[in-house]
Structure 1
Amino acid sequence: MLTGSVPESLLQIMTLKNLDISFNQLEGNISLLNQSKSQVDVNAIWNSLNGTLQLYGMKSTLPLLDCASNMTCGYSKDENFDFAINAGGLVYHGTSVTYDADSETTSVYVAPSNKWTMSSSGGTKLLTSSGQIIGANDSFPLLSARQALSSLRYLGLGMENGAYTVELQFAEIGFGDGTVGRRYFDVYIQDVLVLRNFDIQKTATGSNRAITLSFPANVSNNILNIHFFWAGKGTCCIPDGYQDYGALVSAIHVYSGFSPTNNANGHSSRKTAIVASTCVGAVVLLAIILFLLFQGQQWTSRSQKYNKDQTGFTSFEGTPVLFSLSDMQKATNRFHAENKLGEGGFGSVYKGLLPDDSYVAVKVLSVGSRQGQQEFMNEVKLITAVQHRNLVKLKGCCLEGGQAILVYEYLENSSLDKILFDNFPKCLDWGTRFEIILGVARGIVYLHEECQIPIIHRDIKASNILLDTNLKPKIADFGLARLFTEDASHVTTKIAGTRGYMAPEYAVRGKLTVKADVYSFGVLVLEIVSGRRNQDSKESEEKEFLIDWAWSLHEQNGVLGIVDPLLGEYPEDEVLQTVHVALLCVLPTAQMRPTMSRVISMLLRDIELIPLPAKPDYIGDSMWEHNYRTQKETISSSLQDSSVYSSSTILSEKSLL
């Protein structure tokens, strides 16, 4: 996440055309960008900026939103309880609803009513249809649409908190029924995925056909967030210059499911509500006072203990459940050895049982752990904000008496390394392995591209992939995750990861980008296909390092030789495709590796495979062997990490050079 002021160096970039600095914590005056030497299309929404900016393509200055943590955003809270948008079109007066115009081509637009704002990235395009849209409401013909090649977001501003219905209207007017083009995208409402790989054409049974989908939404912070995201699937850039891909929406209608407290007749209802709530509040306050007096010193002592330990949790949204130390002791039978699931660099992990009979994984930060208080706080903040079906869910935490504990959901089938490498009684068939690969990939894509604040995990490995009852994968251990921005590729002071999974540029130079996770994912895929670790000294010299061996087999057209002999029958073409993608991921040069979105698209055969180059002069773990041979610090325990919710080894940069 970017902080500070907008860099003046941006003024000197002659070729700058698009600048997206949205959803950061930038401060100060942005008017200086008016002095830019080039015409720039700017998206600066959701910052703490002030001033005005002459946006490219606009006839007048557009007030910037002030969307800092105070959520002022230039609007009045609780004043908005419905709005409608004619995406890509002009104002349209329907029978009962008036749809606001949304026809600007800039990357950010604020409606004149201040009820909503639009922001897009990757380029925006307005589509219109001259024909009839089958199934469209007579009062609204649905002849326009807004398309974004990467991300399209609409925010309802100043919403009165409560329950709403979000009505989304679609019509595929970019691709005709006779074309081979396919459009897939995801839809999030309040950061919750409501549509995955949505295909308008398929759902509506054809092009130029209307479809309306409704979703419930709850507003608790006066903001309604509707996000359309293209994850790289479907038709892209074929033929050259053909850009009818990405998210597409024709209209949005949001309305409340309650009686607004602020209505056209004035503020009498709000005043009544205030008086009533004041009376009720007085009664409640009296009850609380009596309760506090009754509790006496017990409550006072406990609150004093928590006040100091929990500093920092009140500064961000989504605070996890705070457990007491006694709660954790009861859940784990005083951290009894029989409940111990494992131990890693972070500390010990125990199986716990909460009073509601739900099992949890209790991760205790050891006193001597290299992961300190600040790292612990970062992990809590990150995991609380990040929710995805392929990511381990944080249920709560404990900070009491100097003890730091994380409480995760409990996954019944332990970790992937236990099943792959430890003689698990049931061998995973190919279908299950492929679904695990896809699930992990989707989790990483979410971290890299779909989070409001992108995250680099830094330690994707088999022991950090947990499996639920149905063997669905979830990525664990975000203690090493790092917030980043595109221009924040830099040399780190600490190298955090596990031998054999770390990308060369990260392990040797400390350069951290999302491509480090791509490399680790490639190693993991090879392990899943082969059923063995990435390094095995018991194997012959040719097979000791898995990446080297895979490349050698590829050059000999014998890739299937890497397949786990216990696998049984499997689709050869799918395995070949999967190994091909894995080898792309472990290329030694970060720029040559695909993004995780393209990885998924290639695995699902939505796009063509990127050709593999010739085997690099140095590749894979043979290079690691040279770099680590003389190290005094023992890190082999990372390969045999027994912790189900393990932390990785953290190495100083100096020790690697």
Structure 2
Amino acid sequence: MKRNLLALFLFLDLFVFSFSENAFNDDEDVLLKLKSSFIDPNGVLSSWDPNSSNYCSWFGVSCNSDSRVVSLILRGCDDLKGSLHFSDSSSCSRRRLGGQISPVVGFLSEIRVLSLAFNDLEGEIPKEIWGLKKLEVLDLQGNNFIEEISGIRVLIKRFLVDPLKISRFSGFSGNAVLGIRKLLSVADEGEEEVSTSSEDVRKNGLYPIEIASIVSASVIVFVLIVLVLLFLYTRKWKRNSQVQVDVPKEIKVFVDIGVPLTYESIVRATGYFSNSNCIGHGGFGSTYKAEVSPDNVFAVKRLSVGRFQGDQQFHAEISALEMVRHPNLVMLIGYHASESEMFLIYNYLSGGNLEDFIKERSKSALEWKILHKIALDVARALAYLHEQCSPKVLHRDIKPSNILLDNNYNAYLSDFGLSKLLGTSQSHVTTGVAGTFGYVAPEYAMTCRVSEKADVYSYGIVILELISDKKALDPSFSSHENGFNIVSWAHMMLSKGKAKEVFTAGLWESGPQDDLIEVLHLALKCTVDSLSIRPTMKHAVKLLKRIQPSRL
């Protein structure tokens, strides 16, 4: 009996253990230590470099206004669906992280979302995770973790904490809820025992009936805790019921589309935000396709709850954003905002994004007319944001994946205004760099001072990718010195008299070559270090219109 009680107390201790928050200087140290514990053969974490940028802009990392990490999403490839979750991964490749999760993850005391699903991680799940009091979403499914439960080593393949279920117990401590979820996930496993021989049992000093008793007792104890807390929470709710009325979840609609939009119809149309309906991942959240009816299909961007502070300010900012309208901007149709859920509703564009277009473009999509049209459409959208909006709107994260296409190759800029909306400073000096590594202007990365010329720089990078076969940080640049990128490469080709080698196969031959050279010079001028030399987007529009080919 004493042995049973001792094992039970040791098991319960797993859920109340917590780190001292002073062992590391800041979250950057923790992230770097985590990186060192991972095996990263494909360079997924290449942007995790303390010398390159603020750690809040590293891949998969999201911070709050105090530069504390609140979200870490490093999802790998789900083989069952064949989909890729790393936003910068190439199709048909397995960009997964290997190794183990370092216990230093317990020092990320402000983290709310932790997703390492569908990687090749192994070993034990660090018990320090259960000490993260603010953790709301934990997704570790699709790995190869081994947990030792009362002397039995258990293979855990499916492990996912459901944020919707956790939100129903928001009055509980994070440790208690996560502890119960962990027990239930282990109890539900069909792929369990790795070794249960009598010799192993004797070594651990426990027999199967004792193990079953301990696990059962642990589950019962935690269920009782939940019931007690639920009882206390219900009493508190009844006392405040006269003040806290149950407000129905509503959607604020800006555009009359002919059919009513409700919270239930939108969430149901996304498959309750299922992976099968996910059409993109970004720094602000994931985007889902929502087919309410055959004639009403939308793109729903689900924002990371907790990134924005101040309900009234959010509604004011989003209402101002609704006034930003242009033929080459994705249309904001409506939004929902509550303590547990935030999402924006846009018109759905069936042509995908420019990143996929560049990777998979066919011979017909190599026509100069199409590439010129895309470049001009994006330039017009940015010129509108910079010149015609009051106050001006700075995008701060221009990249191919944020440029969407319809079936006629019309281009639309998305995610405009979100950098300001979701927690960055309203002044020109921000507390952290927004944007994606490889597209951020050098002066913005070094000083955090942002202007419309930072958008111009990112636009120049996009144009170079559009006309060439290279990415902003192409793997072929690894043989050059550190910092060599698509801008350095284009300058090198031009200086060697090999300008035609900049252009993707077939484009130079089909011409017109004089216009192609003008666009190349425009892209390079957009990416010079001197802000005074970079053109405005209004100037870029003027140049592109001057060399506009005959219409499609």
What TM-score, normalized by structure 2, do the two folds share?
0.49
Report which of the two has the higher share of strand.
1
TM-score, normalised via structure 1 length: 0.41
More helix by share: 2
